[in-house]
Amino acid sequence: MAHWIDSWHMSDGVMPCDEGVDPDGSIVVRGSYAAPPDQDWGWRIEVKPIDTTTLTLTMYNVTPTGEEALAVEARY
């Protein structure tokens, strides 16, 4: 299990996430958050190695129907 915490969206809350590792070595975690009065929305975070010194952090917002939209993309 993994947890997502940030100071902007989460305030003092924590989003528990299920985790996995893709065959390419990417770490993928999925969680959900309340969006009253509608159904919960999802959040998918991918940490992917590009080479020995570079990785990407990509986050997707996931609608209740499963549609994903890019939210954040960073390269480190």
User: Which runs of E-coded beta strand occur in 1-76?
Assistant: 2-4, 15-21, 27-35, 38-49, 55-62, 68-75
Report how far residue 48's alpha carbon sits from residue 10's, in angstroms, rounded to the nearest whole number. Answer: 24
Q: What sign has the CA pseudo-torsion 27, 75, 63, 11? A: positive
- Tens digit of pLDDT for each residue in 62-76? 999 999 999 999 999
pTM over 0.75: yes
Token digits for 55?
């990785």
Dihedral of alpha carbons 58, 43, 68, 28, sign: positive
Higher pLDDT among residues 70 and 23, named by residue:
70
